[in-house]
């Protein structure tokens, strides 16, 4: 009897291993926000430089129409953001050999007077250039639906795919709705708005909970130890993982304190389940990448297990006296995904998994190694 599968190319691990969990972790681990024109341009240049350095887009740039932008010139800012996004798209078309990068835009909240103006200008003129749109101060699924309606209307006829929505949860009421918001199919990522969340409690949470306590201080209630703040972070992370979405940790304002930032990023990644984190200063990007990167030993072990699994057509294997099957294969494949997203060095045997033709943007069902 002829073995019809004998000469078939092996399936890409994403096609075999990732089901409902597939979306989690597929975004760059750092999301860098910038709203002032000179800083936006520097951020985009740094993104391109680091993409070439690491061979992957290791951080997103979110061009900001809201809090990070000058007040009183909202329409001008929207045009500025759209123009910069389109410039990047034009450069990518001229230089298709360069590593693709990702640019998003943060609009005003859906109830803000300039939300629809933002959508019409930014999405209406730069829809094809946007990897996602961030909408802040989302409290309910109704807010999600309102944002989608405006964004889709502005993007109509301007791109082939729907624009993914990133949302920012910033209130106690929104935390209560985290699972319902994460369940929505257009929501790709949920971020936690720390400072607005603390402010929304009317002084019931101390200002120290907006920051990170100093090393050796075991008493101050900071953003990782105040019970209400910690609960909110865990609720958002849990909701995201329940529906295969990406939980994005809040900003650390102590951007000059590299040690505090690295500790915060490690805690977010290893203790709270976050797979992405905000940056508001270029100096924060590399520490975030470092904190979210797997170690060399983890990458080596993951490579060994995934390659051995593929050699056995993803059937169970025994390695060093331990049984592995698709449940553990999925975990170790995600280690390799995270290594790639953070610019870590991968063994040459697994680098082919991340060739451009096998980008996460390609539907997994069509991906072959």
pLDDT level of residue 7 (50, 70, 90 thresholds): very low
Given a cut of 50, is residue 301 above it in pLDDT?
yes
Both tokens of residue 85? Answer: 């996004």
The mean-pLDDT minimum among 83-87, 90-94, 148-152, 347-351 falls in 90-94
pLDDT level of residue 358 (50, 70, 90 thresholds): low
pLDDT level of residue 357 (50, 70, 90 thresholds): low
pLDDT level of residue 356 (50, 70, 90 thresholds): low
Pairwise CA distance, residues 200 & 206, whole Å: 11
Greater confidence, 182 or 326?
A: 182
In CATH, the number for domain 30-292 is: 3.20.20.60
Given a cut of 60, is residue 24 above it in pLDDT?
no
- The proportion of the chain whose per-residue pLDDT surpasses 70, expressed as a percent, equals 91
Given a cut of 90, is residue 3 above it in pLDDT?
no
Q: Is 60 helix (H, G, I), strand (E, B) or coil?
A: strand
Greater confidence, 197 or 91?
A: 197
pLDDT level of residue 342 (50, 70, 90 thresholds): confident
- pLDDT, tens only, 115-141: 999 999 999 999 999 999 999 999 999
Q: How many CB atoms lie within 10 A of CB 295?
A: 11
- Phi, psi values for residue 114, rounded to 5°: -105, 5
pTM, to two decimals: 0.87
Cα–Cα–Cα angle for 187, 69, 78, rounded to 5 degrees: 70
pLDDT at 10: 65
What is the residue-wise DSSP string for 8-64? SPPBPHHHHH-STTTTTT-S-SEEEEE-SHHHHHHHHHHHHHHHHHHTS--EEEEEE
Given a cut of 90, is residue 354 above it in pLDDT?
no
Question: Which of 23, 75, 38, 8 has its CA nearest to residue 241?
Answer: 23
Domain ranges of the chain: 30-292, 295-358
């Amino acid at each position: 009897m002829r073995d019809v599968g004998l000469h078939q190319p092996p399936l890409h691990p994403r096609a075999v291993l990732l089901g409902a969990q597939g979306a989690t972790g597929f975004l760059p681990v750092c999301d860098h926000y910038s709203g002032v024109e000179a800083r936006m341009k520097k951020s985009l240049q740094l993104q391109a430089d680091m993409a070439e350095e690491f061979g992957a887009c290791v951080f997103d740039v979110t061009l900001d129409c809201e809090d990070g932008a000058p007040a009183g010139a909202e329409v001008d800012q929207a045009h500025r953001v759209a123009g910069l996004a389109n410039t990047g798209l034009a450069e990518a078309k001229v230089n298709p050999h360069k590593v693709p990068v990702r640019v998003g835009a943060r609009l005003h909240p859906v109830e803000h007077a300039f939300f629809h103006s933002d959508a019409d200008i930014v999405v209406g003129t730069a829809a094809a250039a946007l990897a996602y749109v961030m909408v802040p101060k989302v409290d309910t699924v109704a807010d999600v639906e309102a944002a989608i309606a405006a964004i889709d209307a502005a993007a109509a006829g301007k791109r082939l795919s729907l624009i993914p929505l990133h949302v920012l949860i910033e209130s106690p009421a929104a935390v209560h709705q985290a699972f319902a918001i994460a369940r929505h199919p257009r929501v790709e990522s949920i971020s936690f708005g720390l400072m607005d969340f603390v402010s929304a409690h009317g002084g019931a949470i101390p200002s120290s909970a907006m920051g990170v306590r100093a090393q050796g201080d075991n008493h101050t209630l900071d953003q990782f130890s105040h019970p209400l703040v910690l609960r909110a972070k865990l609720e958002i992370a849990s909701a995201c993982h329940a529906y295969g979405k990406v939980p994005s940790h809040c900003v650390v304002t102590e951007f000059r304190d590299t040690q505090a930032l690295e500790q915060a990023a490690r805690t977010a990644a290893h203790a709270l389940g976050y797979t992405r984190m905000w940056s508001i200063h270029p100096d924060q990007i590399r520490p975030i990448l470092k904190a979210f990167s797997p170690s060399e030993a983890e990458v080596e072990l993951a490579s060994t297990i995934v390659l051995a699994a593929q050699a056995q057509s993803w059937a169970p294997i025994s390695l060093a006296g331990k049984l592995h099957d698709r449940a553990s294969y999925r975990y170790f494949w995600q280690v390799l995904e995270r290594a790639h997203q953070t610019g870590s060095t991968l063994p040459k045997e697994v680098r082919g998994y991340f060739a451009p033709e096998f980008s996460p943007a390609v539907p997994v069902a069509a991906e072959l190694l």
